[in-house]
Amino acid sequence: STRFEGKKAIVTGGSRGIGAAIAKRLAADGADVAITYAGNQEAANVTVGAITAAGRRGHAIQANAGDPAAQAAAIGQAIDSLGGLDILVHNAGVFEIAAVDQTDSAAFERIFAVNVGGVQAGTAAAAPRINDGGRIIIIGSINGDRAFMPGLAPYGASKAAVAGLARGWARDLAPRGILVNVVQPGPVDTDMNPADGAIAEQFTAMIPLGRYGRTEEIAAVTAFLASDEASFITGTTIDVDGGVSA
Residue 26 in contact with ligand NDP, rule: CB under 6 A: no
Cα–Cα distance for residue pair 17/207, rounded to 1 Å: 20
Site for ligand NDP in 198-237 (CB under 6 A): none
Q: Which of 28, 34, 91, 223 binds ligand NDP (CB under 6 A)?
A: 91
Cα–Cα distance for residue pair 203/173, rounded to 1 Å: 37
Instruction: Give, rounded to a whole angstrom, the gap between the first and last alpha carbons of the chain.
Output: 32
Nearer to ligand NDP, 13 or 154 (CB): 13
Taken in order 246, 194, 180, 31, the sign of the CA dihedral is negative
> What's the CA angle centered on 79, arms 52 and 132, to 5 degrees?
110
Nearest residue to 25 via CA among 177, 174, 173, 137: 137
Q: Which of 120, 123, 181, 193 binds ligand NDP (CB under 6 A)?
A: 193
Nearer to ligand NDP, 92 or 130 (CB): 92
Q: Which of 58, 93, 134, 156 binds ligand NDP (CB under 6 A)?
A: 93
For the chain, the farthest-separated pair of C-alpha atoms sits apart, in whole angstroms, at: 51
Q: How far is the CB of 192 from ligand NDP (least distance, A)?
A: 3
Helix (H) or strand (E) holding 26: helix 17-28
Nearest residue to 47 via CA among 28, 73, 75, 67: 28
Nearest residue to 43 via CA among 21, 73, 67, 66: 21
Q: Which stretch binds ligand NDP (CB under 6 A): 60-68, 98-106, 168-176, 228-236?
A: 60-68
Nearer to ligand NDP, 17 or 58 (CB): 17
155 noted as active-site residue: yes
Q: Which of 58, 66, 117, 242 binds ligand NDP (CB under 6 A)?
A: 66
Any bridge partners for residue 240, and if so which?
185
β-strand 32-37 against 237-240: which pairing, if any?
unpaired
Nearer to ligand NDP, 28 or 92 (CB): 92
Cα–Cα distance for residue pair 13/61, rounded to 1 Å: 10
Site for ligand NDP in 141-180 (CB under 6 A): 141
For 59, the 3-state DSSP assignment is: strand
Nearer to ligand NDP, 22 or 28 (CB): 22
Nearer to ligand NDP, 131 or 148 (CB): 148
Beta strands in 38-132 (DSSP E): 58-62, 87-90
Q: How far is the CB of 98 from ligand NDP (least distance, A)?
A: 14
Residue 75 in contact with ligand NDP, rule: CB under 6 A: no
Q: Which stretch binds ligand NDP (CB under 6 A): 26-34, 35-43, 50-58, 101-109?
A: 35-43
| Active-site residue set | 155
Footprint of ligand NDP (CB under 6 A)? 13, 15-19, 36-40, 43, 64-66, 91-95, 114, 139, 141, 185, 187-188, 190-193
